[in-house]
Chain A
Amino acid sequence: MYVAAKGGERAIENAHRLLAHERRGDKNVAELRLDQISEQLSLAVDRVMSEGSLFDRELAALAIKQARGDLIEAIFLVRAFRTTLPRFGSAEPINTGDMRVQRRISATFKDVPGGQILGPTFDYTHRLLDPALEQGFIPEEPAITEAADLSTPCITDILGSDGLIEPSPQGAEITGDLTRDPLRFPAAHDVRLQNLARGDEGFLLAMAYSNVRGYFRSHPFAGEIRFGEVEVEFFAEDAGLTVPLGSIELTECQMVNKFNGSAKEAPRFTRGYGLSFGHSERKTMSMALVDRSLRARELGEDVVAPAQDEEFIMSHSDNVQAAGFVEHLKLPHYVDFQSELGLVRKLRQEFADANEALLVEEAAE
C-alpha cells in the first residue's frame, strides 16, 4: 500500500552523516591539516579567497577541507560567512605601484624600469608529471640575491606620460558594492570590476578566450602582470588618522588594447584591468580582457559579441549564483511536472484525434 513519504528529516541527517564519513576517506590515511592546505594548495586557497571575496587564508583552507576540495562549494561557504560580517568602512585605495613584487612581467617592452622579474611561475615548466613529488622531497633553497632598490612603476603609467594610453580613470569617491545594492544596468565601472573580481575564473576565461579568438577582436597586449604584497590602510575617523591593517597578496594585470579613435578622439591605447587576491594570472588576465570588452558602449564600439554585453556577462559570472540555480533543478518539481504531464497528455490526445479525423476523411474520399 502507498504511504506518503515521511521522514525527510531523518534522511537528511543520515545523508549528512554519510557525507562527513566520505569526506574523511580512509581513516588509516592521516587527516589533512589546514596549514597543509594553505601552504601546499595555496593557489586553491587564493582562488577561494578571491571569488569568495574574503582575504583569510585559514578560513579558505577550512572551506576547502569542508568542501572536500570542491572549490565552488568552498567559495560558497566563504561567501555565506562573509555576508554576516559587519561592515565598518572601506579601506583606503591600495597603491599597486608600491607593491613588493615577487613577479612582474611585461609583454610590451623588452626591458622596463625595475626589470622583468619571473618569480614563481608555471610558465616554461615542461608539463611532465614529476615522480619525485609522489614520495615527497625537500626542494632546493631558492636562489637569493640582494633586493634591487629599484621602484617598479606601473608600465601603463610609462605609456601614460606620452598620452599614448588613456589616463587611469579617477575612482569614485564612494565605490559601489553589489553585495549591498542590487545590480542595475547599465552598471558603473567600479561595480563591473567588482562583479568580475568575484566572477568565476572558468567563465571569465572562456569569455576572454572568445574575445581574443574573434568574437569581438580586442587586439590585447599584456602591458603588465605583477604579483606581490601591498599594504592595506584604513582611515579611522574616530582617531583622525590612517592606520595600517596589514598586507595582502595581490595579482594585478593591465591589458593594453588598441583603440582606433573616433571623430572626437585621437587613436590611442586603452586599458583593461584585472585584480585578484593571491596569485592568479589566468583570472586577472581574463578579467582584464573582459573588462576592456565591456567598455564597448563607452568607447562607441558596436556591441556584437557576448563578451561585450554587460548584462549577459554580469548576470552569469557568479559561480555561487549559477551553481545554485542550475542545481536547484534537483529539488522536487512534482507539482509542476504533474501539470505539464496533464498538458502534454491533452496535446497528444488532440493530436491523435486530429490525425484520426484526417484518416477518416481520407478514407471517405
Chain B
Amino acid sequence: MSSPAYNFAYLDEQTKRMVRRALLKAIAIPGYQVPFASREMPMPYGWGTGGVQVTAAIIGPADVLKVIDQGSDDTTNAVSIRKFFVKTAGVAATTATEDATIIQTRHRIPERALGEHQVLVYQVPIPEPLRFLEPRETETRRMHALAEYGLMHVKLYEDIAKFGHIATAYDYPVKVNDRYVMDPSPTPKFDNPKMDNCAAIQLFGAGTEKRIYAIPPYTKVVSLDFEDHPFVPYRFNAPCELCGSEDSYLDEIVTDDKGGRMFVCSDSDYCEGRQAAGHTGSLISAPYKERAARG
C-alpha cells in the first residue's frame, strides 16, 4: 500500500495549471461559465469543492485566507475548509475581512467593501441561472451563446403577474458586463449590489457541475428587473441587536419556543468589529471592550 503524499494546497501542479487556464478564460469573458476538469476532492461534492479548487489554484504561501459560510467564520463548513488550507498549504488564516487576500465564501458577500488586493472565491452549487427553467445543459449553453434570455424574463414577469413582485429571495440572477446572465450563487439578493463595480476579483467555482466563472474588478453587474418593477434588495427591517447596525444583513435567531426572535448580523467579523469600536445594540449595553476584559 503506497503512503499518500500531497502537494502544496493539495492539488498537483498540473491540475492547478488547468484550473488557472479556466480562470483566465473566465476573467476574459465575464459571466461566461467555463467548463473545467473538476477533480474529486477530499470533501463531498456540493460542500464547496469548486471554491476549494479555485482557492487551491490561486493561493500562495504569502496569502492570508478567510473562509466564511453564511457570513460567519465559525460555521462548521467554514471551519473545515479553513483547516484544510492551513493544513495543506500552511497559510495564515484570519477572520478579519480587511486582512485577507483571499476570501472563500458560501452564501454571503462580506459587509465591508472589498479592495483591489483581494479575491473573493464563491462556492457555487448550480452555476447555471437557467437550470430551473431548462434542465438540459445542451439547451442552456445554446441560450447563453445566443444571449437568448427571454425565458428568464418571462419567469420574472410571471412572478410579478402572480405575486405582484419578483418572488426570488436569493440566487437572484444578474447580468454581467451587459452580456451574460449569471448565477450569483445562493447569496441573498441583499448582496447583489456589492458585486457591481467591485474592486476585488470575484471568482466562482462549481465543483460538481465542473464550471468556473468570474467577474473582473470594476465590472458592471446588474440584477435583472423591469423599469416599472425595479430590483429591491431585502433586509429585515431592524437594527442588529448586538452592534446596532442598520445596514447589514441579519440572521434570524429563534430564542424560545414561544415565537421569540432576535436579529443579529450574519457577518460575524463585521458585527464584532463594530462592537469593538463601541457600537452597541439593544441587547447589549456594556461596550465590547469591557465585556471582553471581563471575559
Contacts and interface: CB of A to CB of B under 8 A. Distances in A.
Interface of A: 1-2, 4-9, 11-12, 56, 58-59, 62, 76, 79-84, 86, 179-186, 311, 315, 320-321, 323-328, 331-336, 338-343, 347, 350
Contact of B44 (A58, A184, A324, A350): A324
A347 B167 contact: yes
B79 A86 contact: no
B37 A179 contact: yes
B41 interface: yes
Given A181-B37, A184-B35, A338 B236 contact: yes
B169 A340 contact: yes
Contacts of B255: 2
Interface in B218-269: 234, 236, 241-242, 249-253, 255, 262, 264, 266, 268
What 3 A-B pairs are tightest by C-beta distance, nearest first? A324-B45, A328-B46, A324-B44
Judged by DSSP, the binding face of B is loop
Among A5, A323, A335, the most chain B Cβ lie within 10 Å of the Cβ of A335
B42 A328 contact: no
A333 B266 CA distance: 12
Contacts of B236: 338, 342
7 contacts: A2-B241, A12-B79, A179-B39, A179-B40, A320-B40, A327-B46, A334-B252
Among A185, A336, A338, A342, the most chain B Cβ lie within 10 Å of the Cβ of A338
Nearest to B241: A2
B251 A59 contact: no
B4 A81 contact: yes
Among A76, A84, A333, the most chain B Cβ lie within 10 Å of the Cβ of A84
Contact of A343 (B40, B137, B234, B241): B234
Contacts of B8: none
A97 B92 CA distance: 57
Given A86-B12, A335-B70, A8 B76 contact: yes
Interface stretch (B56-64, B113-121, B147-155, B185-193): B185-193
Contacts of A181: 37
B54 to A, nearest CB: 15
B268 A339 contact: no
Interface residues of B, number: 67
A81 B38 CA distance: 15
Given A80-B40, A328-B46, A1 B12 contact: no
Contacts of A5: 74
Interface string B44-73: 111101000000000000000000011110
Given A84-B6, A350-B163, A335 B40 contact: no
Contacts of B250: 338
Given A324-B208, A336-B188, A343-B167, A311 B70 contact: no
Contacts of A76: 44
Nearest to B47: A328
Among A4, A56, A341, the most chain B Cβ lie within 10 Å of the Cβ of A4
B75 interface: yes
A336 B186 contact: yes
A323 B44 contact: yes
Contact of B188 (A83, A86, A338, A350): A338
Contact of A320 (B45, B76, B210): B45
Contact of B251 (A79, A185, A311, A335): A335
B83 interface: yes
